[in-house]
Structure 1
Amino acid sequence: MARELVLGVDAGHTVTKAVLFDATGRAVARGSGTLPLSTPHPRWVERDMDDVWRTAHQAIADCLAQAGPGVGRSVAAVGLAGHGDGLYAIDGRGRPVRAAIVAMDMRAEPVLEEWRGTPVWSQALELSGTVPFAGSPAALLAWLARHEHRVLQEARWHHRAMWGWSQQVDFLRGAEETAYRELTAPDAWIPYPDTEPVLRALHERGLRIAIVSDFA
Structure 2
Amino acid sequence: MLQNLFNRSASSDIQLAIRKTVDSTVIAGIMAKQGEINGVFSKWKLICLGSLIRLMKPEVVVETGVAHGSSSAVILEALYENGRGTLYSIDLPVFKGQDGKLKPWLRGYSFKAEDVSTVRDLDQVGWLVPSDLRDQWKLVLGDSLTELPKLLPTLPEVNLFLHDSLHHYEHMTQEFELIWPCLTNGGFLLADDIFLKRHLAVPDFANRHGGQAKNYLQLGMVRKLENT
Q: TM-score, normalised by structure 1?
A: 0.31
Bigger helix fraction: 2
Q: TM-score, normalised by structure 2?
A: 0.30
The one of the two structures with greater contact order (alpha-carbon pairs below 8 A, sep at least 6) is 1
